[in-house]
């Protein structure tokens, strides 16, 4: 049965209250592999309760409504869904612990055609419950590989950021753990694609793949270290397209081009296979 775009556009998300503790903040950072060097104090700040800070990319797991397209009422062929793009706009630094409200909405459905797929665009505001302040806006595109050709609008889709043609200015290499997806999922994304070999095979993969948002967080780590002076409050924005899956245990090399006024372009490759896994990345620091 084809998906019904009106139904998805009006999906009845309720505000989601999410209380997170220092332990959750540390677990998120461990899922990105932080703390591998016990003498690195810049990393310790995100994995040790003393003077703990939250990584800015942790916003992507806060107030998250879960893998809601798995609900049969969506009509989505959920085993074929891949994360296509991710954006984050930061208005206030995340507290190391607290209670937030996640307010999600679907903002667009684009038909790429039968056999190609459909894009589902959504936004989530992450609001501090106590002050009512908007902390950040998280935006995502899901690529629904099994749901193209439903007869909907074919665009326009947001244009990906144009990358510089010269060689990168900086490069940061970060290994992931073989069990990285199994740790990362404990931050709230329990999609079995990242844990269950049978579900991974049904999606066309040889093994469970890493969460796109884990790769995103690893690239965020690299950017923070190379451009943001390891100061979590320095990241203002981070947008990227996922171009190929990463398998847990692979090494993610983030390449960075310096731009004007605190902006950078970036992409990431898997070192072992020389495949670009993130592309068209743009981040702002201030
Ligand atoms: C629930 C899952 C959670 C996860 O975490 S999954 C893990 C993270 N995500 C990934 O690993 C996905 C990696 N990306 C891919 O595997 C591929 O990349 C895609 C399957 C998403 C698309 O590849 P292809 O079907 O070969 O696309 P095309 O033929 O190059 O382009 C078709 C149209 O789709 C647009 N497009 C391509 N990639 C993306 C993307 N990643 N996000 C949004 N749009 C995309 C293009 O521009 C073009 O559009 P136009 O037909 O209008 O020219």
pLDDT tens figures, 74-105:
999 999 999 999 999 999 999 999 999 999 99
The CATH T-level fold of domain 170-285 is: Thiol Ester Dehydrase; Chain A (3.10.129)
Quote the ligand 1 centre to 82 CA distance (angstroms).
8
- Cα-based distances in Å from 254 to 21, 159, 162, 181, 278: 30, 21, 17, 19, 9
Given the DSSP bridges, would you call strands 251-258 and 170-175 parallel, antiparallel or unpaired?
antiparallel
Q: List, for residues 160-178, the tens digit of each pLDDT value.
A: 999 999 999 999 999 999 9
Residue 159 — pLDDT band, cuts 50, 70, 90? very high
Peptide bond before 156: cis, by omega within 30 degrees of 0?
Answer: yes
Q: In a mutational test of the pocket of ligand 1, which residue from 66, 84, 107, 193 has the highest number of ligand atoms less than 8 Å from its CB? A: 84
User: What's the rounded Cα separation, in Å, for the pair 58 and 41?
Assistant: 19
Tell me what ipTM this predicted complex has.
0.98
Q: Which residues have any ligand 1 atom within 6 Å of their CB?
A: 81-85, 112, 116, 119, 141, 143, 145, 191, 193, 209, 211-212, 241-245
How many Cβ atoms sit within 10 Å of the Cβ of residue 131?
Answer: 10
User: Strand order of the sheet with strand 98-111?
Assistant: 16-20, 98-111, 118-128, 134-144, 81-90, 235-242, 275-285, 263-270, 251-258, 170-175
Residue 261 — pLDDT band, cuts 50, 70, 90? very high
Residue 6 dihedral angles phi and psi, to the nearest 5°: -65, -40
Protein residue with least CA distance to atom 35, ligand 1: 112
Q: Which residue, among 97, 163, 122, 129, has the nearest Cα to 16 in the 3D structure?
A: 129
Residues 79, 202 contacting (CB under 8 angstroms):
yes
Nearest atom within ligand 1 for CA of residue 193: 2
Protein residue with least CA distance to atom 46, ligand 1: 112
Structure tokens at 251: 């090494």
**Domain extents for the chain?**
5-144, 170-285
Question: Which residues are designated catalytic?
Answer: 189, 194, 209, 212
Residues 148, 118 contacting (CB under 8 angstroms):
yes
What DSSP string describes 8-23? HHT--PPPEEEEE-HH
CB neighbour class for 68 (10 Å; exposed up to 12, middle 13-18, buried from 19)? middle
CB neighbour class for 83 (10 Å; exposed up to 12, middle 13-18, buried from 19)? buried
Quote the ligand 1 centre to 80 CA distance (angstroms).
12
- Mean pLDDT, the chain, rounded, equals 96
Quote the ligand 1 centre to 15 CA distance (angstroms).
29
Q: In a mutational test of the pocket of ligand 1, which residue from 110, 143, 212 has the highest number of ligand atoms less than 8 Å from its CB? A: 143
Quote the ligand 1 centre to 239 CA distance (angstroms).
15
Q: What is the mean pLDDT of residues 173-195?
A: 97
- Cα-based distances in Å from 30 to 123, 186, 188, 248: 26, 10, 14, 14
Protein residue with least CA distance to atom 8, ligand 1: 212
Residue 1 — pLDDT band, cuts 50, 70, 90? confident
Does this chain's domain 5-144 share its CATH topology with 170-285?
yes
Query: pTM of this prediction?
Result: 0.97
Q: What is the pLDDT of residue 155?
A: 86
Quote the ligand 1 centre to 31 CA distance (angstroms).
24
Domain at 5-144, CATH homologous superfamily: Hotdog Thioesterase (3.10.129.10)
């Amino acid at each position: 049965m084809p998906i019904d775009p009106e139904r998805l556009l009006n999906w009845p998300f309720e505000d989601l209250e999410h209380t997170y503790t220092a332990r959750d903040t540390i677990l998120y950072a461990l899922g990105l592999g932080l703390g591998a060097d016990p003498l690195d104090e810049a990393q310790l700040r995100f994995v040790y309760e003393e003077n703990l800070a939250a990584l800015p990319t942790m916003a992507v797991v806060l107030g998250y409504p879960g893998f809601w397209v798995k609900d049969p009422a969506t009509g989505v062929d959920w085993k074929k869904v891949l994360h296509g793009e991710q954006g984050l706009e930061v208005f206030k630094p995340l507290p190391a612990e607290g209670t937030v409200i996640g307010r999600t909405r679907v903002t667009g459905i684009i038909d790429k055609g039968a056999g190609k797929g459909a894009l589902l665009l959504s936004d989530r505001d992450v609001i501090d419950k106590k002050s009512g302040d908007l902390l950040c806006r998280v935006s995502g595109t899901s690529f629904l590989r099994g749901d193209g050709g439903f007869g909907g609008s074919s665009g326009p889709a947001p244009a990906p950021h144009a990358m510089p043609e010269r060689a990168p200015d900086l490069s940061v290499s970060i290994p992931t753990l073989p069990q990285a997806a199994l740790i990362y999922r404990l931050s709230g994304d329990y999609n079995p694609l990242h844990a269950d070999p049978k579900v991974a095979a049904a999606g066309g993969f040889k093994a469970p793949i890493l969460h796109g948002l884990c790769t995103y967080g690893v690239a965020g780590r690299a950017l923070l270290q190379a451009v943001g002076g390891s100061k979590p409050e320095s990241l203002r924005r981070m947008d990227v397209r996922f171009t190929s899956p990463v398998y847990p245990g692979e090494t993610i090399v983030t390449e960075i081009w310096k731009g004007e006024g605190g902006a950078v372009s970036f992409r990431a490759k898997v070192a072992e296979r020389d495949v670009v896994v993130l592309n068209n990345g743009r981040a702002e620091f201030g």
